[in-house]
């Protein structure tokens, strides 16, 4: 009876093959019929007329710049960021560049910790790897240290590649252990790395001495020379600022795209309940390894840029306090948000400067020589700690969450929700 009702189910016909193929597609999740981007046509045109912001498809809802307001604000922010260094003093330009480096590194850490849920205290180790790769490839040789004087166009990509490969080697170990064990394991990685960097003096210049960094030569152009572009004068600090900005935009968009893709959803599934994710068909080993490799590559590039900005790197600077600062970037900015990470990085890097400016008006802050209840450095460290606690207990989504609340309030206005 059943064979009679399904006349074309006999094997061998083209239709059956196509059906089977579709079934396989469904199983692997790649089926065209499941793709949401083509679902937009189902809403009749009459319903959409006059409602420009009516979302008719998942893809549109997930678009990078899905509202006109976002589009305009992004353009405005980019223009301001491009023009800012020409109107700011040299030290402020450097500070903003440093904020962007922290943002790149923080985005990497957020991919691993915020999206994929793997807590890592070893991020500075990968930054150091990137910094030393760039310094060896792009730097000039010292009396004891290596240096090949290559172009930044070669040194920077390899500075991302080397940490990624090391991340790939470490990942199988990190995948085996879970949760808090992983946190301590990555801390161990940081400690081991510090010992290696202190001893390997051809690479790092040795403990307490340090080494010079890559020469600022990009595509054969010496960036330390002053260029004039129309009315604008481009100094070395501005060139570096623009490089950081370009990389931040590219890497930020890339991270955002990863986060809203299949991979990003796999990360979130692993974070929320890894066994459930595995049962749903998410390959745990592959997903966690990918998260590690990606975040290491981001960290490496950030480390290389940081070395270019500070001009001299010592093995001691990649320590647990840098680790805490990066965690502060992620937590204060907002766990599992890219925009939030950028805000958080700006906050963490600019806070000391703001406190410095405020110091004369706050009588309890002592100078570098002492006096007062507390020095600026101590105040800023205490503030980081307090802010980490406050944000985690009161607003887990960080500064981005605060902004989100404001946005939702005005979006729904005059209704309360």
What number of residues does the chain have? 417
Q: How far is CA 410 from CA 51, 70, 394, 405, 407, in A?
A: 19, 14, 21, 9, 5
| C-beta closer to other proteins: residue 144 or 224 | 144
Assess 179 for contact with other proteins (CB under 8 A).
Answer: yes
Closer by beta carbon to other proteins, 13 or else 195:
195
| Choices 99-107, 228-236, 339-347, 388-396; region in contact with other proteins by CB under 8 A | 388-396
Asked whether position 117 contacts other proteins by CB under 8 A, the answer is yes
Is 19 a binder of other proteins (CB under 8 A)? Answer: no
Q: Which of 25, 31, 40, 198 binds other proteins (CB under 8 A)?
A: 198
Minimum distance from residue 400 beta carbon to other proteins (Å): 16
Q: Work out which of 79, 386, 406, 412 binds other proteins, going by CB under 8 A.
A: 386
**Closer CB to other proteins, 60 or 265, in the complex:** 265
Applying CB under 8 A, which of residues 42, 279, 360, 369 lies at the interface with other proteins?
279
199 part of the interface to other proteins, by CB under 8 A: yes
Residue 153 found at the interface with other proteins (CB under 8 A): no
Element (H, E) at 272: helix 262-272
Smallest gap from residue 191 Cβ to other proteins (A): 5
Render 29-58 in DSSP notation, one character per residue.
T--GGG-GGGGGGGS-HHHHTT-TT---SH
Of the candidate residues 30, 58, 73, 181, the single one contacting other proteins (CB under 8 A) = 181
CB closer to other proteins out of 122 and 264: 122
Of 150, 165, 185, 242, which one interacts with other proteins (CB under 8 A)? Answer: 185
Binding marks (x or -) toward other proteins, 30..69, rule CB under 8 A?
----------------------------------------
Q: For residue 238, count CB atoms less than 10 angstroms from its CB and return exposed for 0-12, middle for 13-18, buried for 19 or more.
A: buried
**281 near other proteins, rule: CB under 8 A:** no
Measure Cα distances from 352 to 40, 96, 237, 344, 359 in Å: 49, 13, 20, 13, 10
For 233, the 3-state DSSP assignment is strand
In this chain, which of 297, 331, 348, 349 binds other proteins, going by CB under 8 A?
331
Binding piece for other proteins, criterion CB under 8 A, among 112-120, 150-158, 159-167, 225-233:
112-120
Alpha helices per DSSP H over 88-178: 90-109, 123-138, 152-176
Q: Confirm if 277 and 266 have CB atoms less than 8 A apart.
A: yes
Should residue 368 be labelled a site residue for other proteins when binding is judged by CB under 8 A? no
Closest CA to 318 of 334, 331, 300: 300
321: tokens are 């306090």
Closer Cβ to other proteins, 389 or 412, answer by number: 389
How would you class 62 by CB atoms within 10 Å of its CB: exposed for 0-12, middle for 13-18, buried for 19 or more?
Answer: middle
The pair of three-digit structure tokens given for residue 404, joined into one six-digit string: 């989100």
Beta carbons of 285 and 270 less than 8 angstroms apart: no
């Amino acid at each position: 009876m059943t064979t009679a009702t399904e006349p074309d189910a006999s094997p061998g016909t083209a239709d059956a093959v196509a059906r089977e193929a579709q079934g396989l597609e469904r199983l692997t999740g790649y089926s065209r019929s499941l793709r949401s981007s083509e679902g937009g046509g189902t809403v009749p045109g009459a319903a959409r007329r006059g409602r420009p912001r009516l979302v008719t498809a998942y893809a549109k809802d997930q678009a990078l710049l899905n509202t006109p307001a976002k589009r305009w604000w992004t353009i405005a922010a980019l223009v301001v960021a491009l023009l800012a260094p020409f109107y700011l003093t040299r030290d402020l330009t450097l500070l903003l560049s440093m904020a962007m480096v922290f943002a790149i590194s923080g985005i990497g850490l957020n991919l691993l910790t915020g999206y994929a849920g793997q807590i890592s205290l070893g991020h500075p180790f990968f930054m150091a790897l990137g910094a030393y790769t760039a310094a060896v490839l792009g730097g000039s040789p010292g009396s004891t240290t290596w240096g090949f004087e290559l172009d930044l166009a070669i040194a920077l990509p390899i500075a991302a590649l080397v940490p990624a490969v090391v991340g790939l080697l470490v990942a199988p170990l990190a995948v085996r252990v879970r949760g808090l064990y992983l946190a301590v394991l990555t801390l161990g990685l940081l400690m081991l790395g510090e010992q290696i960097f202190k001893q390997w003096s051809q690479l790092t210049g040795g403990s307490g001495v340090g080494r010079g960094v890559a020469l600022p030569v990009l595509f054969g152009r010496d960036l330390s020379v002053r260029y004039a572009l129309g009315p604008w004068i481009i100094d070395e600090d501005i060139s570096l600022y623009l490089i950081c900005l370009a990389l931040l935009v590219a890497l930020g968009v890339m991270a955002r795209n990863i986060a809203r893709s299949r991979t990003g959803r796999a990360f979130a599934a692993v974070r929320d309940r890894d066994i459930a994710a595995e049962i749903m068909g998410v390959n745990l080993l592959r997903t966690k390894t990918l998260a590690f490799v990606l975040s290491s590559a981001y960290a490496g590039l950030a480390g290389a840029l940081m070395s270019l900005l500070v001009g001299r790197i010592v093995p001691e600077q990649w320590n647990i306090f840098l680790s805490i600062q990066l965690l502060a970037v992620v937590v204060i900015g907002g766990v599992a948000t890219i925009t939030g990470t950028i805000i958080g990085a700006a906050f963490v890097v600019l806070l000391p400067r703001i406190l410095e400016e405020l110091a004369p008006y706050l009588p309890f802050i002592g100078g570098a020589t002492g006096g007062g209840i507390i020095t600026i450095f101590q105040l800023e460290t205490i503030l980081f700690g307090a802010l980490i606690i406050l944000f985690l207990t009161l607003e887990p989504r960080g500064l981005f969450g605060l902004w989100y609340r404001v946005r939702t309030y005005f979006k729904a206005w005059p209704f309360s929700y």
